[in-house]
Each structure stands twice: as structure tokens, then as C-alpha cells.
Chains A and B, each alone.
Chain A
């Protein structure tokens, strides 16, 4: 139980570290995706501890897992993908404008252009 959480925590942290530390903007977006994936995994994993059947009612279904985290995570996954799609489009636009994917180089080139 604790091992699973630590693994998820590590996934979350490497995602965040990529956003903060990686200069490549596409890798930053990878990091955002990993953070999102970690939170989704956490919700579903913890929400599944109280039951052993999928949350679809029917005959003989008694101990369903908590459906609320699942419904929330449907929304969160989609929002995450939408945001990263927009971020990628912006990244492509930045690349076309400056010819680089490195955030420091991009900042520098845009400043000198101004």
C-alpha cells in the first residue's frame, strides 16, 4: 500500500521536476501529463479500496468501488489533455517564431526582437 503511494509520489515529483527544470518546452508538457497521470492514478487506486466490483449495478453486485473518484477523473483526464493540446499548439507557434524549443533561448530571442 505504502509502496504504491510512494511510486505515485515519485511519478508526480518527476513530472513536476520536468516542468521546473527541463529547458525543453515539449518536455515540460510531458511533465504536466505525468503529473496529471499521477493524480488520476492516485484517485482511482485509493477509491478502489472499499469494494471489489465495478460500479455498474446489476444482479449480484454488492461491494462496488467508489464511483465518485472515477467520475471526477473522467473530467480531469479530459481537461488535462485539452490543456496539453493547447500548450503544444503554443509550443509549435513559439518554435516557428524563434526556431528553438529551449525556454531560455526562446526568452532571450524574443527579448532581443522586441
Chain B
């Protein structure tokens, strides 16, 4: 029985390896038409210098919306499991980094060092995240990456401060999250009313192309991603989740 299972597994891996190999090893030269086209028109179509941003939030913004949806759904699922874990949790003590106020002084992992460093580092990380978010159209980075950095900044703040601030309150964070999701959908629909269609640039005019729409999307996605990942991380560290 054991040998049979092993045989099956070997066979599976062998077949799939053989099936994948020709695709991986094909030596066709990489196509250049799309690159050349983008090189000519990306700036005039979307206004962004960063062609990756131009694709990510311009030409293929629909994919980005789908990706945000995947994030939203998977975090919803993770959070619902997390909350239920919290309900019938037996060994609360074994979980470190607890953010419950009464546990703060006792825990060995929450040292003074972490508190001081994290609370000082938090604002700087936040600032950096905002930078990455806002300058996504001309430099590497963008809403998603900036959002993740913002989230880590928020988590640093949550680790650093003993008092609950507005920024580390999960209720406030999830409110911002849902609002920014609404804004994202609204922004993607807004083109419908300005003759440029779903996900079209609503402020497009032929004379001056500005990357306004991409900046707007970057900000919204950054808010969405930052807050939702922050909520999840704070909940994972045993913080408050009052759903």
C-alpha cells in the first residue's frame, strides 16, 4: 500500500514535470511589440512615467480590482476564522505580543526596547509608506506596496504605544477599509459618466494628460490594503476585534 502511494506520487510529479518542461524551456525570442507600443504611448495614454504603473492601474486596472477583491475576500475569511479561534481559545497565555491592555506589563516578549523602538519607528515607516504610495506613477512603487508599508507602520504603532490611538483601533481601521473599497468601486465606475467607460480615466482630456487618476487609484488602493492588512495583523497578534 505504501509503495503504491509512493508510485502514484512519483508518477504524478513525473507527468507534470514533463508537461511543464516544453513551456519552460522554449527558446522563442521574447516578443517586443507590446514593449515598443508601451514605450511610445504609455505616457500619452495614462500620464504615468512608470510604465508598470501605467499597466497596473491604467490598461489592466481591472486585474488590479480583481486582486483587491481576492485580498478582501481572503481577509474576510481569515478574520472570521480568527475571531472564532479567539472565542474558544484555551491557552491565551502562550500567545505573545498580546495587545490586551492588562497584559502589557507582564509579557516577556513586550520589552521596553520593542516599545521604544517601535513607537519611534512607526511614524517614519508610515511616512515612507505614504511616499511610496503617492509617487507610484513616476518611481517604483504604488498603492499596493505603499499600503503594505503603511500597514507595517500601523502595526509598529500598535506595538509601541500602550494607549489605544485612533490609528490602531481596529474599528476605525475597518471603517476606513470599507470606505476605501467603496471609493475604489466608485472610482472605477466614475468613467461611465464621463464617456470613457468602466475604469476609464474620468478626467481625461486630449490636451493635457495628467496622472491624476493613477494617483487617485494609488491612494485609494493604498488605504484599502494598508488598513485591511493592519487589521489582520493586529487581530493576529491578539489585539481587539469587536465585530
Residues of A with Cβ closer than 8 Å to B? 2, 5, 8-9, 12-13, 16-17, 20-21, 42, 46-47, 49-51, 54-58, 64-68, 70-72, 74-75, 78-79, 82-83, 85-86, 88-90, 92-93, 96
**Given A50-B35, A57-B42, A67-B55 contact (CB < 8 Å):** yes
How big is chain B's contact interface, by range?
Answer: 35 or more
Q: Is there an interface contact between A67 and B51, defined as CB atoms closer than 8 Å?
A: yes
Q: How far is the CA of A16 from the CA of B54 in the complex (A)?
A: 34
B85 at the interface (CB under 8 A from A): yes
B78 at the interface (CB under 8 A from A): yes
Give B104-137 as 1s and 0s: 1 = Cβ < 8 Å from A's Cβ atoms.
0000000000000000000000000000000000
> Does B74 contact A50, Cβ atoms closer than 8 Å?
no
Contact A64–B35 (Cβ < 8 Å): yes
* B contacts with A: majority SS: helix
- The residue in chain A whose Cβ has the minimal distance to the Cβ of B50 is A56
B38: chain A residues at CB < 8 Å are 55, 67-68
Secondary structure of the A side of the interface? helix
CB pair A71–B60 under 8 Å, yes or no, is: yes
- Interface on B for A, CB 8 Å cutoff? 9, 12-13, 16-17, 20-21, 24-25, 29-32, 34-35, 38-39, 42-43, 49-52, 54-56, 60, 63-64, 66-67, 70-71, 73-75, 77-78, 81-82, 84-85, 138-140, 144, 232
- Complex CA distance for A79 and B70, rounded to whole angstroms: 7
Q: Can you pick out 10 interface pairs between chain A and chain B where the beta carbons lie within 8 Å of each other?
A: A16-B13, A20-B9, A21-B13, A55-B38, A57-B50, A64-B35, A67-B42, A74-B56, A82-B74, A89-B78
Given contacts A42-B24, A66-B35, 10 further A-B contacts (CB under 8 A): A5-B24, A13-B17, A16-B16, A21-B13, A49-B30, A56-B50, A68-B34, A75-B56, A82-B74, A89-B78
CB < 8 Å neighbour of A55 from B25, B50, B71, B232: B50
